[in-house]
């Protein structure tokens, strides 16, 4: 059983990309929209620990005793919180291009778009920020993309190639639109979570953790993988040369899933 925890912004549809793997059929997949994204109701003041308790209750209701966790990018705090809370019920966590807790030391690795989001969430009162973002939102989702995220030409070459792919590119763009369909609430909650402590001790995440990261990732700098590894007692970092933030999970999907399952398909 694999629990998929999507990134920022994201939705359960991203988990569907795993169905394209030849390993599909060897595992069962649980993919959900995190609060405020896709079809999931917004929960104000959501924390990774609150999310983890909700996952625990869901698994208990379904009679699921153990899971492995696959998370990408901004889903890392939530996935690690589940691993911390559930302890031995989590076999392994795989984090792909994942964030790490923000510190004075690693603050310098924020890209310009992330720095803008940090400044907005830190210095602009929430009511005013919500008003501004809703105004932009009502003018169209393309405007919110321009407001929050980098332009495509700012991405690394391997990421630009992914978005230019005739089949994959439109799926990624459409999934972002689904993720943001109910408004900017989920983004605002994630921005609050990312700019402070995650709220639980990472050195007590006792399961094995593999951190995959592309060396060309200019969305989440590879230094974050090194910092997160230092905080986790059973972490292994796998840097992949010449892969970016979006290209890594697409081009190395089968290796990543195979490692999580304990099988190793050919490269």
C-alpha distances in angstroms, 245 versus 40, 51, 99, 119, 146? 25, 24, 11, 23, 19
117: Cβ contacts below 8 Å, ≥ 6 apart? 148, 191
Predicted local distance difference test score (pLDDT) of residue 150 = 56
Predicted local distance difference test score (pLDDT) of residue 105 = 87
Residue 238, classified by CB atoms within 10 Å of its CB into exposed (0-12), middle (13-18) or buried (19+), is: middle
Retrieve residue 131's tokens: 């008003």
Residue 7 contacts residue 72 (beta carbons within 8 Å): yes
122: Cβ contacts below 8 Å, ≥ 6 apart? 195
CA distance 90 to 27: 15
**φ/ψ (deg, to 5) at 29:** -120, 135
Predicted local distance difference test score (pLDDT) of residue 149 = 55
- Our measurement of the distance from residue 60's CA atom to the centroid of its chain's CA atoms, rounded to an integer in Å, reads 24
Predicted local distance difference test score (pLDDT) of residue 124 = 80
**DSSP label at residue 80:** H
- Return the domain boundaries, the chain: 2-261
CA distance 157 to 242: 9
pTM, full prediction = 0.90
Ranges of residues in the chain whose predicted pLDDT is under 70: 140-153, 263-267
Predicted local distance difference test score (pLDDT) of residue 35 = 96
**φ/ψ (deg, to 5) at 5:** -115, 110
pLDDT digits (tens, 9 = 90+) for 31-40: 999 999 999 9
May I ask the CATH architecture of the domain 2-261? Answer: 3-Layer(aba) Sandwich (3.40)
Q: Give which of 124, 69, 66, 73 is closest to 92, Cα–Cα.
A: 69
C-alpha distances in angstroms, 124 versus 36, 113, 121? 20, 16, 6
> Is the peptide bond between 231 and the residue preceding it cis, with omega within 30 degrees of 0?
no
């Amino acid at each position: 059983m694999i629990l998929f925890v999507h990134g920022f912004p994201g939705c359960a549809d991203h988990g569907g990309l795993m169905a394209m793997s030849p390993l599909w059929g060897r595992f069962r997949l649980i993919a959900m929209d995190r609060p405020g994204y896709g079809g999931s109701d917004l929960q104000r003041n959501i924390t990774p620990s609150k999310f983890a308790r909700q996952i625990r209750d869901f698994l208990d209701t379904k009679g699921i005793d153990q899971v492995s966790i696959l998370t990408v990018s901004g889903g890392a705090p939530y996935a690690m919180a589940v691993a911390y809370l559930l302890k031995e019920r989590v076999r392994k966590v795989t984090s792909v291009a994942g964030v790490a807790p923000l510190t004075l030391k690693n603050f310098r690795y924020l890209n310009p778009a992330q720095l803008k989001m940090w400044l907005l969430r830190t210095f602009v009162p929430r009511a005013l920020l919500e008003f501004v973002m809703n105004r932009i939102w009502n003018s169209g989702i393309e405007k919110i993309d321009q407001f929050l995220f980098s332009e495509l030409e700012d991405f690394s070459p391997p990421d630009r190639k992914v978005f230019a792919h005739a089949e994959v590119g439109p799926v990624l763009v459409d999934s972002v639109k689904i993720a943001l369909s109910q408004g900017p609430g989920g983004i605002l909650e994630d921005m609050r979570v990312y700019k402070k402590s995650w709220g639980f001790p990472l050195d007590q995440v006792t399961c094995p953790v593999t951190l995959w990261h592309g060396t060309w990732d200019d969305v989440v700098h590879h230094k974050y993988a090194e910092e997160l590894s230092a905080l986790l007692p059973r972490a292994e970092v796998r840097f992949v040369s010449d892969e970016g933030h979006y290209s890594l999970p697409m081009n190395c999907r089968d290796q990543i899933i195979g490692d999580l399952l304990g099988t190793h398909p050919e490269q």
